[in-house]
Amino acid sequence: MDGTGSAEWLTDAQGKTLWLPDDRIPQATNPSVGFLATSNNDQIGNTLDNDPLNDDIYLTYTTDLGFREQRIQELLSNSAHVRPNGAKISAADMSAYQYDHLSKEAQRLLPFLFAAAAARPDLVTAEMAAALDRLQAWGEGTSSLPPFSTDSGIDAHDLRSDVAPRPTPVSSDERANAIATSIFGAWETRLGPAVFKDDFAGTGISPPSGQDATKSLLHILEDVDLPADSSLHVYTKGPAGESTLWDDKSTAQVETRDEILLKALSAALIFLQSKFATPEPENWLWGIIHQARMQHFLGQAGIDIYDLGPFAAPGARYTVNVASFPMSGDSFEFADGPSERFVAVLDPAGIHAVNALPGGENGNPGGAGSDVYNAIHPEIHYGDLIPGWINGQTFEYHITQADVAAHAVRKVRYTP
């Protein structure tokens, strides 16, 4: 808010604050689906038509684009393709769901790349065809992993000795997924700038790189045939039947959608060869370039000696186990993610709960210097929960006073 008073709360004739009636607040009581779920998404469709001001009430101007909520709904619905035996969801299932890193973004975007390759085989090199095969296989899933699972493909312990090894070794399916995820990540981060950078040139406005980039891409891909009276009508649709945003205005020729989609894949493969310093896709494991940094607030100011990381990690933009990175750029490191993965069973005999935290109990490593801060010290519980957080493990959460006392390592008494 600009502080001028133009955005103050509304008041009645007596000067009392006017509150939105309770029945206008998004809510549900004992919903028929049997659960409540939210993931920063638009609960009532306030923003779905790109206009948050044309509804009876105004809740927010922007929300998460909904991929995480869609996946959560899919998991909690207990649908047959998620749980074929129809068994009840357990606490262990809930922990696994919070660690889920299926990419709905890839599921929506990649079909257009596949269609472009089929329409323009003359633009597909042997290397691109091999990459497309990997992406196709990624989208099919395996008996142990869902489609579009953004696995790291590497044990974080292999890159940092202070990280405890995974309980189970990395599987061949995880490695295959990790290679495909690297290809997809490189492709989408080439695609966004290829589409929008030229259109924003000279405006003083940066092209979209966050969720707006994904929304914009999906809009000009999926909505291009909607009629003019649709709220999602594509206003940039040109005579060729596709958005004019696909054309690179910095070149003399007019590029088509399929050309830009495939050009971004070609650029992605060149980028990955440089990023991994090898032309061999077998070495393009997602966790090598996609890493989590536990960033101290001073790290945001460029003083990184108090940061902890980076650590090889799974996940991607808009996965339930969110691990986002910008749509443009060459870095896939992230410093935002689940602050905890808490699951509780409200048993009348006693609450049972587990959790996962990206840190440790202790905030003081017991020394000075970056070599001390940027290292896990399990003996003093500095960062010792990070390996479990990365690998989807949980620890038992002690709730009752007696249970906490029984598991206490030491006690500190403060006296005047």
**Would you list the domain boundaries of the chain?**
10-89, 104-289
Task: Please give the Cα distance from 1 to 347 (Å, whole number).
Answer: 45
Average pLDDT (189-216) is 93
Average pLDDT (67-87) is 77
pLDDT band with cut points at 50, 70 and 90 for residue 80:
very low
Q: Most confidently modeled of 33-42, 50-59, 192-201?
A: 192-201
Instruction: Tell me the pLDDT tens digit for each residue of 223-272.
Output: 999 998 888 899 999 999 999 999 999 999 999 999 999 999 999 999 99
**Choice among 69-78, 137-146, 216-225 with the minimum mean pLDDT:** 69-78
User: In this structure, what DSSP letter does residue 407 have?
Assistant: T
**Choice among 4-13, 68-77, 310-319, 346-355 with the minimum mean pLDDT:** 4-13
Beta carbons within 8 Å of 188's beta carbon, 6+ residues apart: 105, 109, 264, 327
Instruction: Tell me the pLDDT tens digit for each residue of 150-171.
Output: 999 999 999 999 999 999 999 9
Helix (H, G, I), strand (E, B) or coil at 94: helix
Number of Cβ within a 10 Å radius of residue 98: 19
Average pLDDT (396-416) is 91
- Find the farthest-apart pair of alpha carbons in the chain and give their distance in angstroms, rounded: 81
Task: Please give the Cα distance from 60 to 43 (Å, whole number).
Answer: 10
> pTM for the complete prediction?
0.92
Task: Please give the Cα distance from 408 to 405 (Å, whole number).
Answer: 5
Instruction: Tell me the pLDDT tens digit for each residue of 304-320.
Output: 888 999 999 999 999 99
* Strand residue runs (E) in 213-324: 291-294, 308-312
C-alpha distance from residue 122 to each of 116, 127, 246, 252, 368 (Å): 11, 13, 19, 21, 59
